[in-house]
Amino acid sequence: MTDDDLLRYSRHILLDEIGIEGQQRLLDAKALIVGSGGLGSPVALYLASSGVGRITLVDHDAVSLTNLQRQIAHDMSSLDQPKVESAAARMAALNPGVQVRALNAKADAALLNAEVPRVDVVIDCTDNFATRHLVNAACVRHARSLVSGAAIGFDGQISVYDSRSREQPCYACLFPPESGFEDVACATMGVFAPMVGIIGSMQAAEALKLLAGVGEPLAGRLLMLDGRRMQWSEIAMQRDPQCAVCSG
């Protein structure tokens, strides 16, 4: 760690739970962020500002004017650019010390099976169940921790699915692929702009805790936020012994 690093990350280093050792773990860490939109924006910016050494971004979408209401990694100069390139540029401007790989590609099974084993933690910032299940399956297959978030309207939710432990549930234990959940798009339902910021910031916090080895991860618990009342609720999650994804 250089003198500049000690100064840049001094507010982390001052925390007894993190210190120099925890910050060094962040500098040595590798993270995969799937999705560079509303949730992915705060995740990408906070992981970069916190010094996570190598960050891979995956998204196949381009920035549109409707995104700028909530996707804070992008601005007017980013219009029509691939989201991963826009976000990577913002991250580099914020902290040139991190290495960012921008993959302008769809997060399909082949890509995820190639990328997930290369990282220490995966943060799912997507907006559809099909991709979430692909991300979860890859994390289970390669025993990687998954930080999953979602937001629509005034509602948000977040949890950690820690596939490093056989005792912990995976995303499919709670939301089985065959359950027939329907995706709800922001284009039809809308989304309260700060909601993705709240949930995305919490995803970043959980990812940083996992990487630094501090605190207690949000594993086995699903937090849900009603933004109209700004009220949190929590449910405990159990591993499904018949889960089609992780029971094997």
Please report the pLDDT score of residue 164 as a whole number: 87
Strand partners, 32: 56, 122
Report CA Rg, the chain.
17
Please report the pLDDT score of residue 163 as a whole number: 86
Please report the pLDDT score of residue 177 as a whole number: 84
For the chain, domains (ranges, CATH) are 3-236 (3.40.50.720)
Is residue 243 annotated as a catalytic residue, yes or no? Answer: no
pLDDT digits (tens, 9 = 90+) for 12-25: 999 999 999 999 99
Please report the pLDDT score of residue 167 as a whole number: 87
Question: How many Å apart are CA 235 and CA 5, to the nearest integer?
Answer: 39
Please report the pLDDT score of residue 182 as a whole number: 62
Tell me what the pLDDT averaged over the chain comes to: 95
Give me the catalytic one of 125, 139, 186, 246: 186
pTM of the model: 0.96
C-beta atoms surrounding 68 within 10 Å: 15
Please report the pLDDT score of residue 39 as a whole number: 98
Report, as ranges of residue numbers, the positions in the chain whose pLDDT lies below 50: none
pLDDT digits (tens, 9 = 90+) for 153-185: 999 999 999 988 888 999 999 999 877 666 666
